[in-house]
Amino acid sequence: MFKGAFTALVTPFKNGMVDEEAFRQHVERQIELGIHGLVPCGTTGESATLSHAEHEAVIKMCVEQTRGRVPVIAGAGSNNTAEAISLSRCAKAAGADAVLHITPYYNKPTQEGLYQHFKAIGEAVSLPIIMYNVPGRTGCNLAPETVARIARDVPGVVGIKEATANMTVASNIIEQCGPDFCVLSGDDFTVLPAMSLGAKGVISVTANVVPDKVAALCNAVFAGDYAKARRLHYELEPLNRAMFLETNPVPAKIAMSMLGRMSPELRLPLVPLQPKNEAALRDILTRAGLLG
């Protein structure tokens, strides 16, 4: 169920509010262009600045607009285990197919604390759980041995978004958890190498802009067409770099604005791109044939 290209959706804002019309149009375009799944309310969706009511509303909108055509993995993570359980229950009530749980940030729990965190969520919520390991943001690393322990002991945990960009880590997780465990790349740069090791796909920022190409890369790997997959990998690399000219999701949202898909509005503490990076982004989109 959870394989292929999943878009980490940006959340459009307009005059300080979630722009429902732009969001629904964004979801519809993603599906029309062949995306395999959608992830609302993740890092790229500025979940850290959404109220709980907005968080629940965005997930509900995504589920409603998707109408079961692709799976929806709803962001529900927190550094507070009780809050993570509450957000997961809201996601289930909204109709999400699974929940994405970032490792607790700032608290810096031990590996035992991480194990107990995911065990508590799995015991409280009957919904598939995808863990999310991104130590560059959280200051916390989920070790492959702990991932394997959780996978063995917590039936609800079905996979991980692995965003260390370290192929040794990805390989160790796949080795220790087995081929049925769903490893998804958390970095657009590493989709092809991760999938060549046995990862099932990617949760992608770049797919906000070009869902068809990110999905095509995954489809090429599934078909065993590595020549096509390599071509798409290198074709996508300039766009992948562009999405991280500054902190994600700033470039992705500005790119969507340049393409006329939504307002460039962000919520503090995120701010617009510096002029030189905005010019660089526009140039990359133009070279990719997306502008002009």
Q: Which residues are catalytic, by number?
A: 132, 161
Cα 199 from Cα 181, distance rounded (Å): 9
Cα 119 from Cα 154, distance rounded (Å): 6
Cα 292 from Cα 289, distance rounded (Å): 7
Q: Token match 């850290």: residue?
A: 48
Q: How far apart, in Å, are the Cα atoms of 157 and each of 114, 126, 153? A: 13, 10, 9
Beta bridge partners of 37: 6
Q: How far apart, in Å, are the Cα atoms of 58 and each of 27, 78, 141? A: 11, 17, 28
Q: Are 141 and 84 in contact (CB under 8 A)?
A: no
Both tokens assigned to 225: 């067409």
Nearest Cα to 6, choosing from 94, 57, 88, 74? 74
Beta bridge partners of 124: none
Alpha helix positions (H), 165-210: 167-177, 191-197
Q: How many other C-beta atoms can be found within 10 angstroms of the C-beta atom of residue 182?
A: 21
Give backbone dihedrals phi and psi of 178, rounded to 5 degrees, phi first: 90, 165
